[in-house]
Amino acid sequence: MTKTILNPLPAPTWNRLGVNQANISLPEIPTQGWGESSTRVDAPIDSIQLECPGFSALESGGGADLDCFLRENANFHLHLAVKEGTEGMILIQHTLEEDHPHAIAHLTLRARPHSKITVIEVIRGGVSGSIHGSLAEIQAGEDAEVTLIQLQMLSAAARSWSAVSATAGENAQICIYRAALGGSSVLGGGKCLLPGTGSAFEARTIYYGDGDTILDFSDTAVHTGRKTRSEIHAAGVLDGNCQKTLRGTIDFRRGAVQGVGHESEDVLLLSPDVRNRTAPLILCGEEQVEGQHAASIGRLDEAMLYYMASRGIGEGEARRLLALAKFAPVLDALPPDLRCEAESYLERRLPS
């Protein structure tokens, strides 16, 4: 396997804690190559136009090694621009199947001033050895709004690597919603630069892991402009012998006066054999800022289970409902049909 540094912590800590970088390696390139991906794209013609990739993107939260791998090995490319002052939605659907087992996507998106765009990337399926990869590079102009939702519903036979880099202009807003619901080895890394006055970044991750699944996530907000805001939040459910690491970094650089950043994680542990690591980090190079972080990690509340039992809800159903509640912040952002599909997928996976 290739020796690389993935999802690096911006300011390394003690190696023995095991959070400085991901304990996941990049996949080997198949002898026969990656082949063609089975991908369908639906986009409104009037507000979206094809564009050659031309802007210099910020390194993603996954790190330079991951970015380089995804660019060089992509078997699906989509480079788009949203016209100034318009709104639109793009739906990208990857299906990993026998004839098309791999999907490695490279997306660049330029949202011109005062535009509003939502991109939904859905990843389904997976056969033995299937690989999913995704690199999304985003630039949001003045007063633009960009929302990227990644819904990953892979089988246990597949592995997934995803990376996002984003830059927000003056009063622009970028939202990254990540739903990592399947796969045997899953890595996600995002980073957003906030140089514009009043620019904002929101990252929300939900995840489910069981068996011997390995999950590794890292999101970073880099504040350089005045009055910038960031919200980095995650919630998940872990079972079996699953291992999960999450890094959330709010980086206030000099000049980020009146910047505000919050980060939190809420983890539900269904098994005593789970290994969970959470590494919240706030870096401060400016005095006039506000930064907060919090984490809640625990097992099912016995008092809540008792209360639900007193209302006629069995223990298995109560566990399922409490677990599903963790995923609502991201699932609520999906269109109704995709939300129903995601909920059905989770109900099949969650223990009864």
**What is the crossing angle of helices 302-310 and 315-325, to 10°?**
120
pLDDT digits (tens, 9 = 90+) for 282-308: 999 999 999 998 878 777 666 776 667
* Lowest-pLDDT range of 44-53, 173-182, 228-237, 329-338: 44-53
Residue owning tokens 């991201």: 330
Number of helical H runs and strand E runs in the chain: 5, 18
Residue 240 has pLDDT above 90, yes or no: yes
Cα separation values, 302 from 238, 306, 319, 322, 352, Å: 17, 6, 10, 12, 17
Residue 245 burial by CB count (10 A; 0-12/13-18/19+): exposed, middle or buried? buried
Q: What is the pLDDT of residue 205?
A: 97
Which residue pairs, CB below 8 angstroms and at least 24 apart, start in 337-341? 338/120, 338/122, 338/151, 341/153
Residue 2 has pLDDT above 60, yes or no: no
pLDDT digits (tens, 9 = 90+) for 177-218: 999 999 999 999 999 999 999 999 999 999 999 999 999 999
What are 19's two structure tokens? 């959070």
Is the pTM for the entire model greater than 0.75? Answer: yes
